[in-house]
Structure 1
């Protein structure tokens, strides 16, 4: 499949962790070393029109946006997921389950369910995806021998969850309750060490980043 793309380059203050859509013209980017989320607003021609920094604490990595709140994962000291307001004030912190056990080891990335009720967290070290409600209750867990080092994940408009298996060289498709549907792409399709996945609603496509390349998968052709 041949896809025409336009690239844009931004000067960044440090190595970014993750990026999330805030609005049609605004994105949030984590910078783990600086402990900030940077909000960038773009014009229609993709020039930056405004930049705001929100201090959220070091080791921030994954980020998502929901109902005027930031949801941020922290990979160290301790491994947690926090809900913050847009000024960086912590509203809720999740690091233990209902039995008092540690939820995470390395919560690398996260995203929000299509119905805006569940936080999906990929744990790079535990080799699993955890679904949390917004009050911190564990709703579902996906742990699969064929999913190794899960990192970036995304959802489509139907609620399907797509997650990169970095060390297993594949992309898993999960149901909204994190039941495995299938391995959507693997080594047979040229996937090698995927680290990023994004869903485009307008074209119903997945864009997968692996080893410096982008693989495009048209979901309407399934």
Structure 2
């Protein structure tokens, strides 16, 4: 039975509404009693006036009690609203963190692409020179005539496409890019962790407190 009672227990906003109704009803009742008191005071018999005065006093005490309840319920309502917002913040932060983690996975793809590009450029340059390592000088013309074919220009083309000031330095710059750039995935993970920590530690933003206005 106790558990059932807890389930159907009215929420704080309902209690606030009930307290306000009781205060309003009491004030209306007092207004009617004061009208009756005015008439009773004209009678030589004071008994009726005394009864009405006692009723007014009892209702005023009841109103004062409900006003105290209203103030207490206002505080309780604010606590409940804050707790609810804290819970929703925790849930929203978890969803936000999950979304941020997806960018780290994509950044890892960029890291791999950068590593693969640097490795491929080194491999390409080595492959371009390999055929000339055993140049049959007694059968072929002088190697100096064909020396330009020993060099691959893929890195130069990339450098030019990127509008590098010195495309000739593209090979050095591009093959050293992984070390120069560092891990984008790691940077993303650290950045996301710092962002989550900042959001988590900061207080809830100020908002209009509807519970407080209801209690007023």
TM-score (norm 2): 0.18
Of structures 1 and 2, the one with the larger relative CO (CA 8 A, separation 6+) is: 2
Higher fraction of strand: 1
Higher Cα radius of gyration: 2
TM-score (norm 1): 0.18
